[in-house]
Structure 1
């Protein structure tokens, strides 16, 4: 605001220097007003520096704070995040929506300074020539109104473009994640064609939006220029009539040139606010997403021993014996995920642990005590040791021991820097079987009281699978471990085996005992359709 006021007063001082110094041949007055002009220039330089710093703070501060809110809310949503939005959409918010919000807030301070400067200039012009002041007072609101009309279609098109960009990003992330599978059944080319079609649709939307932005830029240049031309033309006629002095005409020309800056700031502020509003709507829609699982209050602390009773899901009648190595053989792989989600309280089903419903316990406590490991859990980019032990509670020696348990030591030995090697996004530099074993190392490092593993050996060969199960059973001796699998190598090592059909436990016993059941025998030996 101070910068704009200093700029607004420059034409006034120049006009006074001309009329009272040059025209009147008054050298002291000329020196006086020249000194005032120099002081205004110095003030401009100083306030411009402060303005740039303030602009950066107003821009970067809210952007950073918004990013914090988005990250924290994503952490609060946890496993429910994927139910509300896609990975690509979250990435799009972080990369495309945060900066426009900061720019919109920074634009408001510039707009306030522009309004003050326009009011000051209009007041000075009214005091000197009411015709010119009235022209400015009418012209500026008219320009602002026209800009508001021009911004509306831009806002609609920017909203449609951001939505399409989010969908395209989500499609790209999903395609890249499943690229190996797509190549496996020959679907990569088909998905590439779909991506090209979506990409072309995004390009067409971006082109239409760019045309609107170009038209808006032309309007931003033309309207202030037209107002300045009108002011100069009217001022020249007033000089010819003897109403204005030469110095005042020069000053009024300076006002006309100066007004282009605050008007440009106003129009740019409208554009920035439009972009920021579109982005803020997307961020707010994400922040309004609520966690589906309520947080219990009747919990204990993490140091309190686990309940003595079993982990029991009443819907499926599945009970997990405490301290045992239990295998759950599901006729459908989807059933394994459903049951693991219930036992780990990623879905409410009335599951109890001992005599206390899991829903009554704080969710954070359940997450610390009960860990569910799925094959779609991600490996994140960064140093391998930090990925395997994100909380930093395990020594390197212990990590190597856990790697031996998961038969992952050979994976580490093959890496150029061992535990210091870099993991690529989603663990792309590892095979499916290697990722499975590394995920198991990470789960073992967390050392949960209850470990639920969903098909943890599906990508391993029989020999590696047998070694892993033997070592896992020994490592988890005395702690509750549940493996959802149909592999005989795992089932034969379990203390208890539960046979599940249609998400309902139909039989319990040892692997050998259950083999007498035709349906169980068909499931584990792959000799027919168990359903």
Structure 2
């Protein structure tokens, strides 16, 4: 019984595509060695068969020696059995190597996607990431499957060279030099293939990205009549992908034709030289039959070499794409000098803006530029890091040195763009199954979202579609707010939680917020300019140019700050 997934005993080597492929191979040495040994036995048994057949003709048929004929026939039968068994075992080992490498790459990419946060979509398009996991990882695996056949072909070439040398040193030299030369000639066809495959891969990634963006915004595009613009963009990218695919197909066709031509030419030359030696009575008829069999068999190493090069090229391109994904670093990382998390009730302080989010209070953050106030809350949740990141203190601790596990457990940031995933609605709201239905319904009521369940046949068991596309923007926003409430986080930071709902719904949310978040030890900060929410806040902080310029109740700021008053009036 095998345990999946296979353990990763070392970090991936991302210095180059070749090094990454070597690193993957090092994790499955046993399977690769078994495949290479079995592949060598498989090819070697094929290589010896023409020799045995020639000896059967010379000793048994022409020499009329029945015992010799029977012995060579049995030897031929044994080789056939060995060939069939080793072929099956080689294929199994090769496929195992292929899948191990492919799924290890998929696992690495999946782990990177789930751990990198918004750094990955910032660096790479969605289409690139999807294509890397769905396509490139499996192209990488192909190289380990073909390696078994390539190793076997190399062993068989050596065996055939030795057997032919015993018959004719001249033909031995022809095989020893001719096969590598034929393989080298095919590189002139393979090189353009590499360039065209890279172009096709990039075009496919761009097309996938455009398609994903179009589908994600389809409802909005239809609403503003812009659907045809994105459809035209997708049509152009699709046509470019099709054309690049056709160029790749032409290169592949050229490669196939070149394999047949080069290998066939070599076979003709080899057979002609062998026939000349028979006419000159330098070799026997049985040896001629063996040489003819060798000439046919030698097409196998040539074609195997060409196929291996083509697959190595695809794997190299795929490895480059995987490295591009794995090389993206998260915006935050664990500190090398961690400090303990502060006690419950510690304030959050953003030193750049001067904002202090006090414990047990409902704090609103208002700015003429909403992005400024949203950026402040993002910093308080530690979603950016590095030497240039401003310091944020959580009590007496520097937030950059507190364990990420503690931060994510005790500080929750709910962003303005709500995200839902596919699956039961209950799981969307309570991912860790920590609450019963009563608590979930209470959170939905506090977010004024109970009416959403009325339109769902399955209620909390309703299967949400990807990204919650079956819900309107306002419904998604209220569901996400209920999910944020259910975290019961010590520090809850909400960014524009009611921007997509109507005034009546917003009033209900505002009136119910204090009953949810005013328990001792709970701290809440909200980015909003809505008067309905601002009236329920314990304190309001007004930012100008990213700095705190005024603080007090909503009514106090309306009376004392003209800039604040202008921002609030514009939002009404």
TM-score bin, normalised by smaller chain:
over 0.9
The equivalent of 1:137 in structure 2 is 176
Which secondary structure does the structure 2 equivalent of 1:515 belong to?
helix
Is the counterpart of residue 33 in structure 1 residue 33 in structure 2?
no
CA contact (8 A) 1:388 1:441 kept: yes
Which secondary structure does the structure 2 equivalent of 1:419 belong to?
helix
Alignment CA distance shift 1:218-1:86 (3 Å): same
For residues 203-233 of structure 1, give each alpha carbon's deviation from its aligned partner in whole angstroms, at most 9, with x where no partner exists: 2222222211221121122211221222222
Q: For residues 123 and 393 of structure 1, what CA distance do their matches in structure 2 show?
A: 72
Q: For residues 207 and 493 of structure 1, what CA distance do their matches in structure 2 show?
A: 63
CA contact (8 A) 1:338 1:503 kept: no
What's the CA shift for 1:377? 4.0
Q: 1:86 aligns with which of 122, 125, 130?
A: 125
What's the CA shift for 1:73? 2.2
The equivalent of 2:20 in structure 1 is none
Q: For residues 175 and 358 of structure 1, what CA distance do their matches in structure 2 show?
A: 39
CA contact (8 A) 2:348 2:395 kept: yes
The equivalent of 1:396 in structure 2 is 437
Is the counterpart of residue 489 in structure 1 residue 532 in structure 2?
yes
Q: For residues 89 and 248 of structure 1, what CA distance do their matches in structure 2 show?
A: 57
CA contact (8 A) 1:299 1:365 kept: no
CA contact (8 A) 2:473 2:500 kept: yes
Is the counterpart of residue 74 in structure 1 residue 117 in structure 2?
no
CA contact (8 A) 1:136 1:227 kept: no
The equivalent of 2:32 in structure 1 is none
Alignment CA distance shift 1:429-1:122 (3 Å): same
What's the CA shift for 1:56? 1.1
> What are the residue-to-residue correspondences of 1:44-193 with 2, within 5 Å?
44-193=83-232
The equivalent of 2:51 in structure 1 is 12
Is the counterpart of residue 300 in structure 1 residue 340 in structure 2?
yes
Alignment CA distance shift 1:394-1:148 (3 Å): farther
Structure 1: 5+ residue runs without aligned partners?
Answer: none
TM-score when normalising by structure 2: 0.88
Q: 1:429 aligns with which of 456, 464, 470?
A: 470
The equivalent of 2:319 in structure 1 is 280
The equivalent of 1:442 in structure 2 is 483
Is the counterpart of residue 259 in structure 1 residue 302 in structure 2?
no
Q: For residues 397 and 23 of structure 1, what CA distance do their matches in structure 2 show?
A: 94
Q: For residues 463 and 259 of structure 1, what CA distance do their matches in structure 2 show?
A: 81
What's the CA shift for 1:282? 1.2
Which secondary structure does the structure 2 equivalent of 1:526 belong to?
helix
What's the CA shift for 1:456? 1.0
Q: How many residues align?
A: 525
Q: For residues 114 and 364 of structure 2, what CA distance do their matches in structure 1 show?
A: 31
What's the CA shift for 1:399? 2.3
What's the CA shift for 1:53? 0.9
CA contact (8 A) 1:62 1:101 kept: yes
What's the CA shift for 1:39? 1.0
What's the CA shift for 1:125? 0.7
What's the CA shift for 1:343? 1.2
The equivalent of 2:562 in structure 1 is 518
CA contact (8 A) 1:324 1:480 kept: yes
Is the counterpart of residue 375 in structure 1 residue 416 in structure 2?
yes
For residues 156-175 of structure 1, give each alpha carbon's deviation from its aligned partner in whole angstroms, at most 9, with x where no partner exists: 22112212222222222223
Q: For residues 418 and 280 of structure 2, what CA distance do their matches in structure 1 show?
A: 82
The equivalent of 1:472 in structure 2 is 513
The equivalent of 1:21 in structure 2 is 60
CA contact (8 A) 1:311 1:353 kept: yes
Is the counterpart of residue 344 in structure 1 residue 387 in structure 2?
no
The equivalent of 2:30 in structure 1 is none
Please report the RMSD computed on the Cα atoms of aligned residues, expressed in angstroms: 1.9
What's the CA shift for 1:291? 2.7
Q: For residues 269 and 396 of structure 1, what CA distance do their matches in structure 2 show?
A: 58
> What are the residue-to-residue correspondences of 1:219-258 with 2, within 5 Å?
219-258=258-297
Alignment CA distance shift 1:37-1:377 (3 Å): farther
Structure 2: 5+ residue runs without aligned partners?
Answer: 1-39
